[in-house]
Every structure is written in structure tokens, then in C-alpha cells.
Amino acid sequence: MARKALLGNVTDNDLRLLRVFRAVVACGGFAAAELELNINRSTISRHIKDLETRLGVILCRRGRGGFALTAEGEQVYASTLRMMAAMEDFQHDVHELHQRLTGNLSMAIFDKTASNPACRINRAFRRFDDLAPDVRPEIHVEPINAIEQGVIEGRFHLGIIPTHRTSSSLDYYPLFDEQMYLYCAIGHPLFDCSAGDLSVARVRECRYVGIGYHSPNMETSRRLGQVRHATAFDQEAVAHLVLSGRYIGYLPEHYAEGFVGKGVMRALMPQDFQYACQFSAIVRHAPPPSRVVQTLLEALIEAHA
């Protein structure tokens, strides 16, 4: 397909096609997007073909092998998310002129926080819904680095992450803490060991699963001299590998207590192998958050005060 030198003006039809494209990618394919878009698969396919013709690039591969974005499709999708977020910010700004709290609010949260008794995001949303019932929240669960990048780029209006390193592009508002311990599961050589038979050196020799991006988990394992033998990108993945009986790994105490209560998991030398991390709400430093985002931020701070 020949590439066009310039796109020209972005039209209403272009925006409509980009919204279809965004939904297809978010749903993971044409068939799954039918329900979300309420249009049939052939129409979706035609819209994507029209968008490819308009942009002069192939956006995705579809067929028996499944749905997959091309490199150009990945770039267009990322640009689409940024553009849609900017449009939503514009809508928020206009609504604020009329003192109305309405529109969409996109938020990203690190995983496995709902079971933390110190986490009161639910209370904050209850308060937020009282203040802004016409706002439609959209919540994503993402890794720390994806949340930070998404907030900086404007794809997420607000994020909640374990604080590790700070960025001058973000403002941080402490909310709650989380206690982490090192666990093994039934079938692991250390599971039935008495406390007296355990040592720091013996625990360090075990195969360890750690988070594969910069985080409090990575900082702690490096400080304690633990070598990563397997890599996970969320707490659920760590839990699966720990439960295999072949690895040890850090998990939130509130998340692991269900497994501990069932007798299938135990903490290892909790006085030595543990750390606490603080969760903070993050927003872009500039431009300042809209009144909608500020309202949610204040509800979060109030709920965790």
C-alpha cells in the first residue's frame, strides 16, 4: 500500500474511524468489538480498511492466526489514545466553564489493592459519585511503569502506584501503605522447615521470582542480594509461580493471607525478608488537573486521611 506524504486535516469521519480502531484494539479483535460498538463485523472491517486507506499504512493483521497490530498500528494506536485523552481534557475544560462535572475520567491502579484494609479507594469513589454523578469513570489495572508513562502522556488522568522513584513530571499524594513478605508454598523445600532451620543464606539460595521493572520489589531484592530466576509483571503472576512450589517471591500480606489461611503458603523469615511500600495518587505536574480530576484527587486524600 503506497504511503501518503501527509494526512491533511483530521475530519469528523477520521475521528469516528479512530474510535472504531481504538475499540477493536481494546477488545482484542473484530469479533470481540461487535458488542462494544454495536455494529457487525463486516462493517467494522470496512471501517478499519477505510482508516488504513486514509492513513496509508497497514494497521493490523487479521485472519486464522488471530488479530495483531503491525508496528505502524502500534504507533497509530498510541497516538490515538493520546489524542482522545486530549479531547477529553478539552471537554472537561469547557464543562468547567459552566461549572459542570461531566465527561469521562480515565484512571489506572496497580494490581491487588482492593483487599488491602488500608486501601479506601472504594470510599473515595462513593464520595466522588456523590459530587460528580455524571462523570463516567474508566479504570485500568496496569504495571507501575505503564501507569507513570500513561499519566505523563495524558492517557490516564490519575494513577495510583507504589511510590519508588519520583519524576519531576508528576505530583505525588500519599494515600496508604502495604506490607510485603517473602513467601513459599506447599511442596517447596523450605515449606516444612522450622524457623530454627532457616537462615538468610539458605533463603537467598532459593529460586526467586521478582517483578521485571523498576519497583520497590526490585529495589528490595537487590538490597537483600536475591537473584531473580523468574520474572513476573504483576502480583498474580508471582502468586502462580510461588504456588508451583518451585519459587519464592514477595506478595502483599493482605493478598497472601488467604493462601496462608488454607495452609498452602507461608512467610519466610519475615523479620528479614520484608518491606513496606507507600501507595500514592499521581497526576501530571503540568498542566494542572481539571476540576473533575481534582475532585477525585481530593476524595482520595480525604478517604485516606
- The pLDDT tens digits for 121-151 are 999 999 999 999 999 999 999 999 999 999 9
**Could you tell me the CATH number of the domain that includes residue 64?**
1.10.10.10
Grid cell for residue 171: 505530583
Instruction: Look up the pTM and report it.
Output: 0.70
Nearest one of 107, 101, 106 to 134, comparing CA atoms: 101
Q: What is the pLDDT of residues 240-264, one digit of tens each?
A: 999 999 999 999 999 999 999 999 9
Considering the domain architecture, whether residues 290 and 273 belong to the same structural domain is answered as: no
Considering the domain architecture, whether residues 266 and 194 belong to the same structural domain is answered as: yes
104 pLDDT band (50/70/90 cuts)? confident
End-to-end CA distance of the chain: 57
Vertex 193: Cα angle to 191 and 199 (nearest 5) = 105
Q: Could you give the number of structural domains in the chain?
A: 3
Considering the domain architecture, whether residues 261 and 295 belong to the same structural domain is answered as: no
**Which pLDDT value is given to residue 37?**
84
Q: At what angle do helices 71-97 and 144-153 cross, to 10 degrees?
A: 60
Considering the domain architecture, whether residues 236 and 254 belong to the same structural domain is answered as: yes
248-266 burial code (b ≥16 CB/10 A, e <16)? bbbbbbbbbeebbeeeebb
Longest CA span, the chain: 72
Grid cell for residue 31: 469479533
What does the DSSP 8-state code read for residue 195?
A: G
What does the DSSP 8-state code read for residue 248?
A: B
Q: Compute the distance between CA of residue 169 and CA of residue 171 in angstroms, rounded to an integer.
A: 7
Its domain, for residue 188, covers: 177-278
Residue 36: partners with Cβ closer than 8 Å, 6 or more residues away:
23, 26, 27
Among 100, 120, 151, give the residue marking a domain's end. 100
Looking at residue 263, its amino acid is G
1 pLDDT band (50/70/90 cuts)? very low
Residue 304: is its pLDDT beyond 50?
yes
Grid cell for residue 239: 502468586
Nearest one of 73, 34, 29, 31 to 51, comparing CA atoms: 73
Considering the domain architecture, whether residues 44 and 138 belong to the same structural domain is answered as: no
Grid cell for residue 75: 504507533
Considering the domain architecture, whether residues 83 and 214 belong to the same structural domain is answered as: no
99 pLDDT band (50/70/90 cuts)? low
The residue among 167 and 175 whose pLDDT is bigger is 175
